[in-house]
Amino acid sequence: MLIDVHGHMGRVTPDRREFIDFANIIAKMDAWGVDKTCVLSLSEHPEGGYLESDTEDVITLCSRRPDRLIPFCLIDPRCGNRPDMDFGYLLEEYRARGCKGIGEFLPKMDTDNPLALNLYRQAGKFELPVLFDMNDSTWSYGLRDDYGLPKLEHALRSCPETVFIGHGPTFWAEISAEVPAAKRSSYPPGPIAPGGAVPRLMRQYPNLWADTSAGSGYNALTRDPAFGLEFLDEFQDKMLFGVDSCLRNDVNRVAPIVAFLRQLREERKLSADALDKIAWRNAVRLLRIST
């Protein structure tokens, strides 16, 4: 069993229609051995500017194959523009319609902006984990934080009932205690210095999880192979398999993270139990997915 907690639909650019084609999404899942995919909304944030990927689009798509596709909903925390805005009516409706989490949460704001904290808190009450993207200020989208991720720590401490799923270049750059400024929003190469913010926060806060998705997740887990294996082993109860594939729909070009997981299993680099948890059991437990 393989559950991808980080998929998308819609047009990432106006001319690209492959992700609104239901058959393409399912064909790629079949080719890569993915049993279920969580489809994340994008269009609610003005930063994204994507077409045909808002929560309504996602729910409609997923309703065509509820056995394979799981919807996430998205709310922009600036909606209402008040730090006490009540999002209960939206969260209640989205949850009733099958949404299992909030994402992809990527407004260009500080991770502990009061408007964001307000949404995180309410998401926790509705038991909807928040899957976020973090990028430094040079990017047009994604949460901002300082070196060492103090704003994320503030959010984790302020919203203990809310599960956060970390993702994105700046989040993953902070797996290392040494974060080169020029690479804080891309893929820092080479050995990882112990003492990074991500392992520290994941150790300290039960409500911080992470997914393996995108070039950033793959890079963090493979740039220092021994460290990556130890990281996956230590956090085997909080890591979620994800792809975040926005590649052109070449079903024959398997995503590197899919190949990496296969390789770990074939070469027995991690226990079968740990790999099962990362591949699907953690997702079932956290998101209450029926199998």
Residues recorded for the chain: 291
Instruction: Determine which residue in the list 44, 47, 54, 104 makes contact with Zn ion, applying CB under 5 A.
Output: 104
Quickly list H helices, 97-148. 114-125
Longest dimension (CA), the chain: 52
Segment interacting with Zn ion (CB under 5 A) among 46-54, 69-77, 96-104, 183-191: 96-104
Distance CA 82, CA 42 (A): 22
Q: What is the dihedral of CA 252, 256, 257, 263, to 10 degrees?
A: 90
145, 133 contact by CB (below 8 A): no
Segment interacting with Zn ion (CB under 5 A) among 56-64, 93-101, 124-132, 238-246: 238-246
Is residue 244 involved in binding Zn ion (CB under 5 A)? Answer: yes
Q: Least CB distance from residue 214 to Zn ion, whole Å?
A: 7
Segment interacting with Zn ion (CB under 5 A) among 61-69, 153-161, 178-186, 244-252: 244-252
Q: Least CB distance from residue 101 to Zn ion, whole Å?
A: 13
Q: Least CB distance from residue 81 to Zn ion, whole Å?
A: 25
Q: Least CB distance from residue 71 to Zn ion, whole Å?
A: 14
Number of residues that bind Zn ion (CB under 5 A): 2
Q: Least CB distance from residue 111 to Zn ion, whole Å?
A: 17
Which candidate, 34, 31, 52, places its Cα nearest to that of 42? 52
Segment interacting with Zn ion (CB under 5 A) among 75-83, 222-230, 240-248, 254-262: 240-248
Q: Report the 10 Å Cβ neighbour count for 224.
A: 18
Distance CA 209, CA 221 (A): 15
Q: Which residues of this chain interact with Zn ion, rule CB under 5 A?
A: 104, 244
